[in-house]
Structure 1
Amino acid sequence: MRRRVLYVDDTPSSRDALREYCTRELPGVDLITAATASEGLEICADRTLDCIVSAYQLSGMDGLEFLEYVRDTHPDLPFILFTAAGSETVASEAIASGVSEYVQKGGDEQFDLLAARIDDAIDRYHSRTGYRDLFEAIGDAIIVHDPETGDVVDVNRAVCEHWGYSHEQACECAIEELSAAVQPASERTAREWVRRTAEEGPQRVEWVCETSDGMQFRADVRLKPATINGRDRVIALIRDITEEKHREQELKAFREAVEHAGHSIYITDSDEEILYVNPAFEEVTGYTADEAIGRTPRLLQSGEHDDEFYDQLWETILAGEDWQNELINERKDGSRYVVNQTIAPITDEMGEIVRFVAVNAEITEQKRRERQLQALYTATTEWLDAESKDDVYELVSTQLTDLLEFDLHGFCLYDESTHTLQSVVTSEHADVVLDDFPEFEEGEGIVWTVFESGNAERCDDVREHPDVYNPDTEIRSELVLPLGGHGVLLIGSKEPSAFDDTDETLAKVLSSALTEVLSRIEREGELAERNSRLEEFANVVSHDLRNPLSVARGHLELARDTGDETHLEEVEQSHDRMERIIQNLLWLAREGREIGETRRVDLAYTVEDAWRHVDTKEARLVGSVDRTIEADPDRLQQLFENLFRNAIQHGGSDVTVDVGVLDDGFYVEDDGPGIPEATREHVFEAGYSSSPDGTGYGLSIVQTIAEAHGWNLDITDGTAGGVRFEFSGVGFGGEARTEY
């Protein structure tokens, strides 16, 4: 590349001598000459030059004045002052005015020295021009420092734009003015970093900068030593990373959230390849990150969904929309689980989809509970068809095991006669786990507490409960649920804390429904019994009262016809019999199997009172009962009165009645004709009587009272050939009077 040099000198011989030298020694230089400064300025305006050489003495203006005009239009163009020797004042002024070089004329080597200075000046000029262009073109901020002082020497346009200073203001700023006062990232000052770079080489630091209006931003600062125009410098390349740090913090927070999320999360590229899985994914699916990354989500497919399902999924997310649905997946071990999956596309700056993120909330347990609730609802409708409580207990026990997976359970039902809670129906698993099933008396264990209070209890560890019945029980967790007055439902586990809130809620729903069904069956039974008694009453009224009424009517007609008043006695007896029948029927209809409040009753006194209230004629009462029993005293006396009337009615007016005690009860026997074994099963039927004077309800009432107390009643032969009624299962108290 040829170099264009302008030489301005008003001495023709000097111009010719330099031209001859350049032609001979500098073939790469095109020398252009001018006689005056004005001519030189015209050439500068018309042509591109690489260097100007000028004499000091010129026509019209001197060389320094010429330099001043050149600098107005070409501030960086090399300018060499080529002047006569011995003028030190001119040399000083030239340097102060900013000439590139100063060369004295004269001597054999003057042109050699000038040629060398021209080459150096042009090289520096072109080098500086390239550096400047690059310096200004770089988008990141560049600050040039003096390594000895740390002062700012030069800045590029990006510094001015970012900090809000002009070029001159920025170069006049102290390095501290461009930095924030607080630097959490470093203990060194900005000047120390510059000095360290000059001594040790390139450095890198994260720095907080401050603009002219006080705004701060984080920057990545790279420091490097350099030589510029022969001087040592430290260049700082500064890149604003405020947004980058913000994104980095957001990404860090997002990653931490994903890492610690309870939901299974994975990220794929646009070709379905898995790029990332979180720890929850590994835990839920059984696949490690190494096993999953690089594969596609198809490794989780269970075969439960068809191609159309997945086609719709891809159609949605490829359109840039979120997809959400329930999905049945398969773990590594082959087991299936249900997730509520959301897949969202991730786009780049151009809006192109580059990633997909899938968030999977496992709802396997939730779906199982939903199925249980639906099954439980369906199951309760089956209870409505049950005809007895026992049928219900068996049905519920099966459903507790099959539907709710409570395979260790049992029912403790209230026994009114013993005032205890007794186990009646237990699951097969409970039969295996437990050796025996206790009977809970009043105040015993958690079971009685729940029965009495009507409040369910969930015990996470039965052994630590203050009301535990057996501290050594194998049962550790327990749900105890009241069933109203029917008893309680027990659901257990051999593991502590085995039941959660949902288990408790399901069990409460079941026990509440069960209580209503049991109460309904009980009410229906009571109603059926009342209807039976009413029907029985109606039959007796229509049939049994008809006989004595017919007899009375017949004797009344005879008395009218014959005037014989003895017939009126028969009418009176018929009326008396009807009155007894009516009284007995009213008791059966009103009282039925109900008894009043029980208490300790002296058996001997009750027998005596009953004997006095019966027309015993010449009959005798023998025996002794030296006990007290728990009974309703009025109903007990009624029992004895009916037995005594039955003995006199069938055994005659002189019959002997014996009352005594058994090991677990008492008996009443007579020495009458007895009851044939073939008819014994009928004597307790309402209205049945082998005597024409009997109502047929005496023994039925006896049986009703015995059953109401929970006693067993048997008929056997008496010791003297008559009949013996034995009552067993009677709760005796202490001894009482032994004679009547």
Structure 2
Amino acid sequence: MLAVCAQRGDSDDVGAVLNRAGEQFRVETVTGIDGVVARLEADADGFDCLVTDHGLSWPLVRDVLDAVHERRPALPVVVTTDAAATGVAADAIDAGAVEVFRWPTTEQATLLARRVRTAVSGVQTAIRDLTPSECTAVFEHVDCGVAIVDISEDDCRYRRCNERLAELADTSVEAIEGRTPIEVFGPEHGPDIEARYRECLDGDEAVSYTIGPDPLDGRVFHEAQVRPIATDGHSESLLVAVREVTSERERQAELRRSRRRLRALFEHSPDMINVHDAEGRIVETNAQLREMTGYDEATLTDMSVWDLDQAADPERALSLWEEMEPGDRCRSEGEFLCRDGTTFPTEVHIRCLGVDDGERFLAISRDVSDQRERERELQRKNDRLEEFASVVSHDLRNPLQVLRGALDGAAEAGDRAHFDRGHRAIDRMEDMITDILALARQGDTVGELRTVPLARIVETAWHNLRTADATLVVETDLQIRASEIRLRQLLENLLRNAVEHAGADTTVRVGTLPDGFYVADDGCGIPAADRDRVFDTQYSTAPNGTGFGLAIVEGIADAHGWQITLTDSEGGGARFEFSGVTIDE
């Protein structure tokens, strides 16, 4: 028996304890891994058991087990360990120990001796020689093809094989036994098979390789294992075991194809994908996430989820992930930080994955900037509907009341003035209805754009208005890309606004800008404090104004992609400049 101790001379080490056990043990004690290796290499078969001392550290015990398994795999090893040590027993058994003995315990010498004898007896029972009938039963009834090959320097022949090997080779036992690999499998495959046998012989260790799909029956794969089993001084004997692995290879191939498909889906998904661990560390990302954020893979895998997602709450996220089981899902809204410092909103779907090396979470994210903009646009439309409801319920009620009063007055007195007042109320309602319809359509697309002469559209819009003594001066010959109907609506509202606010004798000018045009009047202008509000609905300083005119102008300009700037004209009035206009030469 070989005892391994931390240091010699300790009265409480396993060697001393076994010598006091009263058993007929021959105990030899060595120290450290170097002592174990030296003794095993000097006489690997000279011991029936190896016992490690409880004072050895677990890394040293593991090294001892590795050394034994490398040099004498069948040698039983008993590991003694302090009772206070936790987890060592399971680790030692996993590493190949046959027994683990807790130290100290009462009657430890007797108990340890008993454990050693049990370990040695178990191994000896396991390696008892099989009887000839047992050997034949094993040889004939195993589910793989088996052959014994006698191989020398100048010859290689099958001494014996079973029916399963003959079946796998698509031949008979008689056609294999006593023949060489070349005679059995032909000159195309025989030399390669014999080379494998000699490789095993030269290396004095087992050799595994796969045959297929051609060497045997041309349709299936086989896995062969060859190991040396005996020598008589002149030739060696090899044990060859062959099993069909076609279905296994097909499963492996399908697994590889599935992995490639999953990898392609992961890498080329239109959604952003990352995998992170239970602590929020990002471990893998796909191309879409890298493209959208501007980070490379190395940078992202050096970040945490909350480094990337500015809206993530680490405490809440960690608590949520801790409660998730494999397959569970959750959803959140995020704000991803890009490499250039900008952010964009995201919708994040997270799924808990069950993997071998710990919890992983698959996060699939999508940029929802467009969705958020649509939501904002919908909210704006809803707000306009509220405004329309207010106009219909309140603002239109006023001129209706005026009209009712005028009709009542006319019915009683027949005075012409009452009819005039009623007509003015009707005119005001018509103006309000026209403006409400125009404002309701301002979120629509402008339709087909075509090249139109700006001057002609301006003059048409002017003639559609009641302009009193106002003067129009057109100083442009621009040809621009626009919707003629919507452009005329824009100009009618601007020109009407100028006449109503600048006075009946105002002069309105329409001229050219480098990338657009302007409309200006010589009235009193718009105070600087009001310029941020003039495009709001229901903003008006005219007694009979609807408050929708400039809101309509802004909506039509936005639909064309134009920008509006409000400033002072040369005459001190208001000047509306439109830029970003497509001009045709």
Asked which structure has the greater CA Rg, the reply is 1
The interval holding the TM-score normalised by the smaller chain is: 0.3 to 0.5
Compute the TM-score of the two structures, normalised by the length of structure 2. 0.44
